[in-house]
């Protein structure tokens, strides 16, 4: 029903992706909670993720679960497109994809 990918690096855990086949029934929240338990057990000092500026649903989803906006990396998608040209210019709701939004869950 859902999949979360994440990686531990030194004293940090980065959420790479979170996908759910059915929204609004708690799958994403349950997956995040499971990772949060692993982060606590690993003694991580930082739990973070990146999304794009057009992904307002994700930004809302994470903030409602206690994640905080910690940085906006203006223009970062231009560099990402050099590595992955398939990234579209226009995203969700016809919003130009330009920036990366960094969120962090306080530990």
Q: Note the pLDDT tens digit of each residue in 15-52.
A: 999 999 998 999 999 999 999 999 999 999 999 999 99
Instruction: Output 6-9 pairs: Cβ under 8 A, ≥24 positions apart.
Output: 6/35, 8/42, 8/44
For residues 80-91, give the mean pLDDT. 96
Q: Indicate if the pLDDT at residue 58 is higher than 90.
A: yes
- The two three-digit tokens of residue 30, written as one number: 């349950």
Q: What is the pTM of this model?
A: 0.92
End-to-end CA distance of the chain: 27
Q: Indicate if the pLDDT at residue 107 is higher than 90.
A: no
For residues 70-77, give the mean pLDDT. 98
- The two three-digit tokens of residue 43, written as one number: 């003694």
pLDDT band at 12 (very low <50, low <70, confident <90, very high): very high
For 32, counting Cβ atoms within 10 Å of its Cβ (0-12 exposed, 13-18 middle, 19+ buried), the class is buried
């Amino acid at each position: 029903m859902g999949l979360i990918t994440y990686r531990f690096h030194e004293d940090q855990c980065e959420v790479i992706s979170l996908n759910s086949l059915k929204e609004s029934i708690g799958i994403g929240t349950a997956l995040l909670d499971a990772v949060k338990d692993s982060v606590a057990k690993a003694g991580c000092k930082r739990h973070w993720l990146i999304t794009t500026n057009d992904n307002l649903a994700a930004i809302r989803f994470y903030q409602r679960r206690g994640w905080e906006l910690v940085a906006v990396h203006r223009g970062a998608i231009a560099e990402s497109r050099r590595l992955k040209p398939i990234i579209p210019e226009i995203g969700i709701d016809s919003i130009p994809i330009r920036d990366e939004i960094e969120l962090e869950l306080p530990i």
